Structure 1
Amino acid sequence: MLNTPTPQLIRFQQPSPAELTTIERDNLWAEFGQLKIADSTRKQYVKAIENFCQFAYSGSATPETISEFLKLDRYAAIEMVLRYRRHSIDKNLAPSTINVRLAAIKSLVDMVRKLGKTTIDLGDIESIPAETYRDTRGISVEQFKLMLEAIDPSTSIGVRDYAIMLLFWGNALRRGEIASANIEDFLPQQQKLTILGKGKRVKVAIDLTDSVSYALEEWLNFHPCNAPGQPLSCRTQPGGFLQVDAPLIVSLSHNCYGSRIAGDSIYRIVQGYAEAAGIERRVSPHRLRHSSITAFLDASGGNLRAAQALSRHSNQNTLNLYDDNRRQEQKGASGMLEDLLVGTGGKTSD
C-alpha cells in the first residue's frame, strides 16, 4: 500500500493596503485609466485625480502619490477629501465640476477597495447640490446660416465640416455622438444613423433628413479611406469598398490624418466658424445643440414631446428649461407686474 502524503493547504497572506508593490501601484493607476466608461468621462476622471494629488501632495498623480493616499486609514482619507471639497468650493468652482472630481476620487477608491488593496470608504462624502439654471439660448437661425456660409465646400475639410454642422443642427447631436460614429452606423438608403448616446451602452438609430444624409454621402466621397495610401484606421476591403468599422468622421490634419476625430477638434471647428461668421459670444458644440432644440421649440409652438425625441433627453423637465428660456416667461411676468404698478395693466383699487 502506497503511503501518499497528506496534501497541505497553502495559505497565502493577504497583503495589507500599505504593502503595495511597485508593480501593483503601476497597475492600479493604469487600470484606472482603462475604466469602462465614456472616453470623455475617463479623461475628466484622470484630470480630476491629477488635480487632487496636486492639492494633497503638491505633485502630479503618479503611482507613488496615489499609493500614499491609499495607505491612509478611512477617517484620515475622508478628512483629506473633505478639505479638497472645501478648497474647491472656496475657489467658486461650479457644483458640476466639484461633483465630477469627487466622483473620480470615489471611483478610484472603490476600484482599489474591490481589489482588497485599501480599507478607505468615501461613501459618506456627499456631492454638491447642482444648480438648476442652465443657459439654453444658443444662437439664432440667421447666425447659424452665417456659420454655414463661412464653410468652403470646395475642399475636403469644408465638405466634412458641413456634414458635422448639419448633424448638430438637424439632429441636435452631442460632439461625442458624432465622434464615436463609424461608417457602418450610417445607412444612406434608410437615411438613418446609429449613435451611442450620452451614458448609454447600446446604440440607437436616429432618422436623418435629405440634406443631412446627402451631406454625409458627399463626405464619404472625400473620406481618406477612398484615397490612395489610406490610413490604417480605414483598412479598405478588397475592391476598394470602405471598411465599415472605420470612423465616420476623421481628422484631416497632417499629424493624425485619417484617425477618429477628437471631441476637442470638433469644438475648435465650431468655434472657428462662429468667429468667421462674426458671432461675438462663444459658440461651443453644445451651444449648437441648444440652438437646434430652441429653434425647433420656436418653430413647433413648444412641442415638448417632439423636442424630447429630437434631443433624447430622458427627463422632460430639462426641456422645460429650454421652453422657459425661449419664451422668456419670467421677463413677461415681470413686465405685467410693472404694468400694474404704472396703471396700464388693469384696474387699481382706490
Structure 2
Amino acid sequence: MKIRGDTWSGALESTLRFLATEKDHSVNTQMTNRLLLEAFARWAVAKNLVSPASVTSEHLYEYLEKEKERGLAPSSLKASIVALRHFFSYLRQEGLISVDVSQDLELPKVGLRIPRILSEKDVLQLLSIDLPETEEGVRNRAIVEMLYGAGLRASELVDLRLTSFLPEEQLLRVFGKGRKERVVPLGCAAIHALEEYLRSGRPRLVGTRRCDFLFLKRGGRPLSRFSVNQLLLQMARKAGLRHGIHPHLLRHSFATHLLHRGADLRSLQLLLGHADLATTQIYTHVEIDRLREVHRRFHPRGK
C-alpha cells in the first residue's frame, strides 16, 4: 500500500529493502513490518507530519498510547515498537534524520503464553483416519506425517523442494526463518508416507507441468499455507477432534512429546530451528504442567 507523500513512501521502501536483504528477515516478518510501518505512516500523515524527520519521541509515545487504548495486545505492541526501532535506526544510519527518536522506547513485558498441544492419543487418532487412495489423499497423509514427524512450520512445509528430501540419509533439508538451513531426521512413518506420495501422488498432480516444489495441488501448482490449514481442519473433523487443528499445533505437539520422552532442550532447539534456546524453553512449562498434574493425582498429600 502506498502512503501519501513521496518522502514517507521512499523511507518505508528503503527500510524494508534493507531489512529484507541485510537483516535477512523472513517473508512473514517482512510482511508484518510493512503493515506496522504503513499503519504508523498513515497516522503520521494524518497528523501533518510531512516526513519521518518531523517525528519526535513524543509523537511515538502518543501513537503507541493510542494503539494501547485501541486494545492492542502487549505482543502486538512489542512488534510495533520493534518495527519503529528498525525504521528510525536505519534512517539515522543513512543520515536521513539527525536523531533516532525511537532509541528510548522500551519493550512491554509479554506474559508467557503456554502453547496448546495435542495428546499423543489425539495425534494417533488424526494419523489413523481413512483417506481416499487418490493423489490428494496420499499427499495429505504425507503432509500430516511431515508436520508432526519433523516439527515443521507451515511456511517451511510449502517451501520444500524435491531436493529437500535426502532418502539415503533419511533426512530433510529445511529452510526456516531468515532462510536459516537445518537438517531434520525423518522417522519411518514419515518416510513411508513421503515415498508413497512421491511414487503415486505427486506424478499425477504435477502432470505435464515442471515444478520443483515438493507438495503440489492439481495442475502442478505449489500448495499454499492456507490450503494446508484447510486440509488439516477437514482431517481433524473426520478424526472427531473438535478443537481447531493447525500446523503450529502439530509443531508444538512434536516438541512437547519429544521433551516428555526424554529429549534434551539443546537437541530440541536444533530440531525446531530456534535461534535462541529461550524460545525452546517454553516447552518446559508444558512439561511442568504435566508433572504438576501427576503430583496432584498420585501424591498422598497432593490434593
Q: Give the corresponding residue for 2:192.
A: 214
Alignment of 1:126-275 (within 5 A): 126-131=106-111, 133-150=112-129, 152-199=131-178, 201-221=179-199, 222-223=201-202, 227-230=206-209, 234=211, 246-250=212-216, 252=217, 257-275=219-237
Task: Measure how far apart 1:205 and its partner are.
Answer: 1.7
Percentage of pairs with the same residue = 24
Superposition deviation, residue 225 in structure 1: 8.7
> 2:261 is paired with a residue of what secondary structure?
helix
Choose from 86, 103, 115 the match for 1:123.
103
Query: What's the counterpart of residue 240 of structure 1?
Result: none
Indicate which of 315, 325, 329 corresponds to 2:286. 325
For 1:289 and 1:80, locate their aligned partners in 2 and report how far apart those are by CA, in whole Å.
Answer: 40
> Aligned partner of 2:54: which letter?
D
Q: Which residue of 2 aligns with 1:44?
A: 32
1:295 CA drift (Å) = 1.9
| 8 Å CA contact 1:140, 1:291 repeated in 2 | yes
Correspondence for 2:50 among 57, 68, 71: 68
1:91 to 1:147, Cα distance in 2 relative to 1, 3 A = farther
Distance in 1 (CA, whole Å) between partners of 2:121 and 2:60 is 48
Question: CA separation in 2, counterparts of 1:44 and 1:27?
Answer: 18
**Superposed CA RMSD:** 3.5
Q: 1:54: Cα distance to partner? A: 4.7
In the TM superposition, residue 100 of structure 1 has moved relative to its aligned partner by 1.6
Greater helix proportion: 2
Contact 2:206 2:220 (8 Å CA) reproduced: no
CA distance in 2, matches of 1:262, 1:205: 22
1:95 and 2:95 are equivalent in the alignment: no
Contact 2:114 2:285 in 1 (8 A): no
Q: Say if 1:109 and 1:213 are closer, same or farther in 2 by CA, change over 3 A.
A: same
TM-score normalised per structure 2: 0.78
Unaligned residue ranges in structure 2 (runs of 5+): none
Match of 1:14 in 2: none
1:310 Cα deviation after fit? 3.6
How many residues matched?
A: 291
Q: In the alignment, which residue of structure 2 is the partner of 1:345?
A: 301
Q: Greater Rg, structure 1 or structure 2? A: 1
TM-score when scaled to structure 1? 0.69
- Cα deviations by residue, 1:97-121 (Å, 9 ceiling, x for unpaired): 2122222233333344444433451
**Cα distance, 1:38 vs structure 2:** 0.6
Q: Please point out which of 284, 294, 301 is paired with 2:256.
A: 294
Question: Pairwise mapping of residues 305-320 of structure 1 onto structure 2 (< 5 A)?
Answer: 306-313=267-274, 315-320=276-281
Structure 1 pair 107–164 and aligned structure 2 pair: CA distance change class (3 A):
same
Secondary structure at 2:50 match in 1:
helix
Indicate the SS of the match to 1:124: coil
Compute the displacement of 1:208 (Å): 1.3
Task: Write the distance in 2 (CA, Å) between the matches of 1:214 and 1:334.
Answer: 39
AA aligned to 1:270 is L
SS at match of 1:193: strand
1:129 is displaced (CA, Å) by: 2.0
Structure 1 segments unaligned to the other structure (5+ residues): 1-20, 60-64, 235-245
Give distance in 1, aligned partners of 2:138 and 2:293: 43
Query: Match for 2:106: what amino acid?
Result: E
